[in-house]
Structure 1
């Protein structure tokens, strides 16, 4: 009996020591701060050396980049808001997670990385734009915008209800995150905090303190501002996202404050427009807004611009408001970095900055996203991992939002489910270059016919070439990205590239099999094709 009691005491002590060691190890696992904006193009980030770098749009994000790694070849799998977020939640392509376009509803009952992090002992929270419908699962605390949300005085969906929050959305989301870091997280446990900004999504309504930012300068123009896609044989000639023909003076550019101003009537819904959001502004907010914009609107009305001069004016108004919204996000990054520093969390917190996809800021004369062309396909990814990732480094490896879930799980020391389809970025963050790292990425966009009329397409991209199939119209495009980085010349019919095109088609089918994409990619009838394209103005 004495021997049995001794053995039991020994086993209990061994278990206690093992648990203590395990808890100590768990306590040392890194925190994860994931800052995620909406529609933030890489060329509007100084660290990416794009053509907007000269106006210094992102000093705080650039500082983060100097402390970590910039992924130069970071891509989305489906360039639209909700689907990009669903891919990040699940580590699975759109056809696997069930959220293929913004009209879908996300199944929160499925496996997501926040749930797995909770099971691994992490405290989790999300604030800001979810855009996946339904109440988030896998978070100890959450407050999210309904749908796209509003820039000014937005409603927020919370576990307790749907309160109206006073202020600018970017500031509100930042304050919620800062407050949680100070008082909401559970002490002694690692955390994963997602800070999800609406900005700089359309309709580009900056905070009041930024309304005069860039007012006295001219934004540099993209060299393709007057590109005429409709002169080519590309499906792009049928889109509806040109600054010239489709960017509306009232809906998009806020030229609606002068009582005697007569803009072209807008035939679409105004539910998400700046005009609608202005109905929610306080008198003081509206007064400050009008003080900034009315003189500019009056000068515009008096100028009576047409043709290229009008396009240039619209571009300037758009680009400045877009970057003013970016400024708020940049300040948010600074505030969050200061907060984790104040609480002594910096050395054990991985900080990630990303956005759901790229965006056109006048490139090719466009705004919006959706295409597999690089301005839309590329998404920023900057990661700081103190003591692990080399400060000021960059990676040329091909990565996707498909990889984020697995990365978070490996950082947490959690098991990665075998049905996730990406690859953890941890080896790349450690400066390693795995021999088996992917050499091509797969893309599939589904939302058509719909707003902006970007046709459904899938494709493959590697370091040098890109192949796209607009399958409903059975049209192909092929680009040599080294010799034609702006993707101005479709080389699909060029016999000099026949061998390369054949290789890329084989790779495209390999990826479709690898990711088990059995989506309907049927060619539609000629009658259907004609009828659809006749709708484009």
Structure 2
């Protein structure tokens, strides 16, 4: 058959066979180029087996400040609630030191404060001899990025272990914050939570040659409680429900707690109160269901929830959501009026308990809940195991990967809590304690006419009745004291004397 067709005059005859061959080769080359280009923007075949990781941390968020928990019925957090439905909720997640810098160091090192060297907020960065999560992940082939609140050593300069760095110094500020991006200082107009989220999404959209681990550590909802301008008038008719343990007169609690409550816990006020009379109990104040401070705290959570939704949507649009371990938690809890208090630091439940939610459908069945005692020091070894790397033996936390898989395993029955007195707020004295699934024992410094604390969390979840001198609980008291001693020995606990001054 003649393959030459006189479509035009004879001088324009076309060889169809040759054209078809050229088109065939062109398509093959084009396809190869597309595949090659795609590979440039993706991890290699080995790295593709490793999950990406996103770790979102709030600041001072009480464990029950989520719409799903129902305490604040007027506050809706649909994106965080969705994360809970799609992932695993740890119902008994705790920090080992309820304070910003020490807790953050625990998340990053998998070790207690007395081991990683970040005892108080006035500390430096973690001890460089202690395993450091971002560095371990870099060595395992991960690209790492940090956004938000570092709050360990003062200064915003980049730290080792991160390929990308965007933070603010110290506590930062909510509106028009000064930021540092990879060593460059500048001021960004806008609201902090929104700004950090926008930078995260831009970073996610850039081509990646490796699996990544991204840390977004918000300033919110730390004081001064400042909602996004769009949320400043939210909940106009809302009433905050009174905490069951609001009327704590502290009569059976240590004297140092009442002294700090009456005279103040901060430096000069605490020092000036030395030798002054301390009342046997505290008179209750009336509950204010419209407390403007607490209202703004709750309003500030709305931007955090929006941030979660925006980041989730970005991961989904990039088609990497289901291969990403998405973690949400807080650096510590917060007293939103319980025990007539704000702040954290103390070893009561509202202070040391945190929200902890993880989504990873490759491993986690949607809607799972777990009641084991998990700690902030467990997060680093867990992430390292998920990355396929070897967990450093020096880490004191335990990987909870088996719990993510819903496996039945031997798990801890108790844990050590520690808090070290710091110059900023010496009215919060050094304490160590132990909590198991039912009881809590808190041991303060040796003081004249002072007592330690023992609580039965089953019969007294609000920790209103100190059982330290109850005849019926003396055997429990002895067991808890022994357990505290065991944990101190096991973890190499010591009280750094320099911070007592």
Q: Same fold (TM over 0.5)?
A: yes
Q: Take 1:482 and 1:116, find their aligned partners in 2: how far apart are those partners?
A: 40
Q: Take 2:466 and 2:496, find their aligned partners in 1: how far apart are those partners?
A: 25
The Cα shift of 1:233 comes to: 4.7
1:95 aligns with 2:95: no
Instruction: Check whether the contact 1:449–1:455 (CA below 8 A) recurs between aligned residues.
Output: no
The Cα shift of 1:107 comes to: 4.0
In the other structure, the counterpart of 1:464 is 438
Q: Alpha carbons of 1:246 and 1:471: their partners in 2 closer, same or farther (altered >3 Å)?
A: closer
Runs of 4 or more above 4 Å deviation: 230-234
Q: Take 1:520 and 1:159, find their aligned partners in 2: how far apart are those partners?
A: 34
Instruction: Check whether the contact 1:83–1:100 (CA below 8 A) recurs between aligned residues.
Output: yes
In the other structure, the counterpart of 1:506 is 482
Matches within 5 A, 1:185-196: 186-196=207-217
1:31-70 per-residue CA deviation (whole Å, 9 max, x = no partner) reads 11100010011121233x2622x12342211110000111
Aligned residue among 438, 442, 460 for 1:484: 460
Q: Take 2:469 and 2:76, find their aligned partners in 1: how far apart are those partners?
A: 40
Task: Name the structure with the higher helix share.
Answer: 1
Q: Take 2:259 and 2:460, find their aligned partners in 1: how far apart are those partners?
A: 22
Alignment gaps of 5+ in structure 2: 1-42, 270-283
1:265-286 per-residue CA deviation (whole Å, 9 max, x = no partner) reads xx99xxxxxxxxxxxxxxxxxx
Q: Take 2:222 and 2:302, find their aligned partners in 1: how far apart are those partners?
A: 13
The Cα shift of 1:472 comes to: 4.1
Aligned residue among 320, 343, 348 for 1:368: 343
Q: CA RMSD in A?
A: 2.3
In the other structure, the counterpart of 2:171 is 148
1:396 aligns with 2:371: yes
Task: Please report the TM-score for the alignment, with normalisation by the length of structure 2.
Answer: 0.83
Matches within 5 A, 1:50-449: 51-52=71-72, 54-107=73-126, 109-110=128-129, 111-133=131-153, 134=155, 135-183=158-206, 186-229=207-250, 232-233=253-254, 235-240=256-261, 308=285, 312=288, 316-435=291-410, 437-448=411-422
SS of the equivalent of 2:205 reads helix
Instruction: Check whether the contact 1:402–1:421 (CA below 8 A) recurs between aligned residues.
Output: yes
The Cα shift of 1:224 comes to: 2.5
Instruction: Check whether the contact 2:56–2:329 (CA below 8 A) recurs between aligned residues.
Output: yes
Q: Alpha carbons of 1:224 and 1:374: their partners in 2 closer, same or farther (altered >3 Å)?
A: same
The Cα shift of 1:324 comes to: 0.8
Q: Alpha carbons of 1:351 and 1:441: their partners in 2 closer, same or farther (altered >3 Å)?
A: same
1:133-164 per-residue CA deviation (whole Å, 9 max, x = no partner) reads 25322111011110011011111123232111
Q: Take 2:446 and 2:180, find their aligned partners in 1: how far apart are those partners?
A: 38
SS of the equivalent of 1:492 reads coil
Instruction: Check whether the contact 1:178–1:339 (CA below 8 A) recurs between aligned residues.
Output: yes
Larger radius of gyration between Structure 1 and Structure 2: 2
Alignment gaps of 5+ in structure 1: 1-21, 248-266, 269-306, 529-537
Instruction: Check whether the contact 1:231–1:237 (CA below 8 A) recurs between aligned residues.
Output: no
Instruction: Check whether the contact 1:42–1:50 (CA below 8 A) recurs between aligned residues.
Output: no
In the other structure, the counterpart of 2:279 is none
Q: Alpha carbons of 1:81 and 1:478: their partners in 2 closer, same or farther (altered >3 Å)?
A: same
The Cα shift of 1:451 comes to: 2.4
1:196-235 per-residue CA deviation (whole Å, 9 max, x = no partner) reads 1000001101110000101222222222333222575554
Q: Take 1:159 and 1:502, find their aligned partners in 2: how far apart are those partners?
A: 53
Task: Please report the TM-score for the alignment, with normalisation by the length of structure 1.
Answer: 0.77
